[in-house]
Amino acid sequence: MGVIIAKSVNEACAVLAENPATTVLAGGTDLMVQANRGTQSLESVLDLSRIPELKKWALEGSEIVFGAGISYTDLADPQIAALVPALTQAARTVGSPQIRNAGTLGGNLATASPAGDTIPVLVAMDAVLQLKSSTENREVAIADFITGVKTNALQAGEIIQSITMPVFQGPQEFLKVGTRNAMVISVVSLALVTDYSGRKLRVGVGSVSPVPFRATEAEEFISKEFDWETNSSLSEKVINKFSELVADATKPIDDHRGTAEYRKHAVGVLAKRALERVCAGERL
């Protein structure tokens, strides 16, 4: 059937309902690498990249909603950066300008790589995905959406329509370690999100386990220690304990990008650095 360029979400879902084996294409930055290697056949393709509603974002009450087709370049919008700074920081570290122009948030989630850079941020914020098929709309929490290394909860005929997350008051940090500054897959990544009104520090980590996850024990510890009135600096002992708790929660592996031991060490360093920056961050 070749390539169908959908103009609307409804049209896309109808095409998928008719032919569930069709491959969904967004920015192509994961899919085309596979196609060029010959490991992904693209006999029948549904292109979502020209559906205007998938590229939009909106503030809805205390939540922000992103169309799944929003690109990394568009996520760097200063307005978005003011609302979900860690997501913009993560988007800015992805690939190169070429990759950021094409690659999308929805593609990053569907690929579900342990190293997907937006995932620790969405995990820290408990983002929810809106999935749609021709017959059903459903919501899935990010923690349930990513089911393993490069596997997700999408069912045949379903696409990710949008991603919703709360807008938290307070500073945020996204940090990643790689071999250089540009064009680098994370060896370790970490998002730290402050929630002033819930008096909670939220920590998401990536590349240190099959699925990015929240370091809940570390969160509980630091949320009690954090000075919610002033953000003032914490003692070295507290910072080190937090860093240790984050590192202890991880289950990294050895691979060509780094050893498990290095990853455990590095994630602790990121935890410490992110916390220090959050403490130094201005109160809004």
Ligand X SMILES: Cc1cc2nc3c(=O)[nH]c(=O)nc-3n(C[C@H](O)[C@H](O)[C@H](O)COP(=O)(O)OP(=O)(O)OC[C@H]3O[C@@H](n4cnc5c(N)ncnc54)[C@H](O)[C@@H]3O)c2cc1C
| Binding letters toward ligand X, positions 148-167, x by CB under 6 A | ------x----xx-------
Q: Which is nearer to other proteins, 26 or 177 (CB)?
A: 26
Please, what is the minimum distance in Å from the beta carbon of residue 270 to ligand X? 16
Chosen from other proteins, ligand X, none, partner binding at 59 (C-beta under 5 to 8 Å by type): none
Contact 117, 90 (CB under 8 A): yes
Chosen from other proteins, ligand X, none, partner binding at 101 (C-beta under 5 to 8 Å by type): other proteins
- Number of residues this chain uses to bind ligand X (CB under 6 A): 31
Residue type at position 219: E
Contact 204, 225 (CB under 8 A): no
Rounded to a whole number of angstroms, the distance between the first and last alpha carbons of the chain is 54
Phi, psi (deg, nearest 5) at residue 234: -95, 160
Task: Give Cα separations from 221 to 213, 216, 238 (angstroms).
Answer: 17, 9, 9
Q: Could you give the CA distance from residue 205 to residue 48 in angstroms, rounded to a whole number?
A: 29
Interface segment toward other proteins; rule CB under 8 A; list 21-29, 127-135, 155-163, 247-255: 21-29
E strand or H helix at 53, and its extent?
A: none
Please, what is the minimum distance in Å from the beta carbon of residue 69 to ligand X? 6
CA 243-194-77 angle, to 5 degrees, is: 115
Q: Which is nearer to other proteins, 59 or 182 (CB)?
A: 182
The one among 21, 36, 229, 230 contacting other proteins by CB under 8 A = 36
The one among 11, 47, 126, 195 contacting other proteins by CB under 8 A = 47
Residue with tokens 């602790």: 268
- Would you count residue 7 as binding other proteins (CB under 8 A)? no
Q: Could you give the CA distance from residue 193 to residue 154 in angstroms, rounded to a whole number?
A: 27
Q: Which spans in the chain are helix H?
A: 9-18, 31-37, 72-75, 78-83, 85-93, 97-102, 105-111, 119-124, 142-145, 216-225, 236-249, 260-280
Q: Which is nearer to ligand X, 23 or 240 (CB)?
A: 23
By CB under 6 A, the residues from 3 to 32 that bind ligand X are 23-31
Q: Could you give the CA distance from residue 214 to residue 203 in angstroms, rounded to a whole number?
A: 5
Chosen from ligand X, other proteins, none, partner binding at 280 (C-beta under 5 to 8 Å by type): none
- Which residues make up the interface to ligand X (CB under 6 A)? 23-31, 33, 48, 68, 93-95, 99, 102-104, 106-108, 110-111, 116-117, 154, 159-160, 183, 185
- Which residues make up the interface to other proteins (CB under 8 A)? 1-3, 5, 25, 27-29, 31-33, 35-37, 40-45, 47, 49, 73, 95-99, 101-102, 181-183
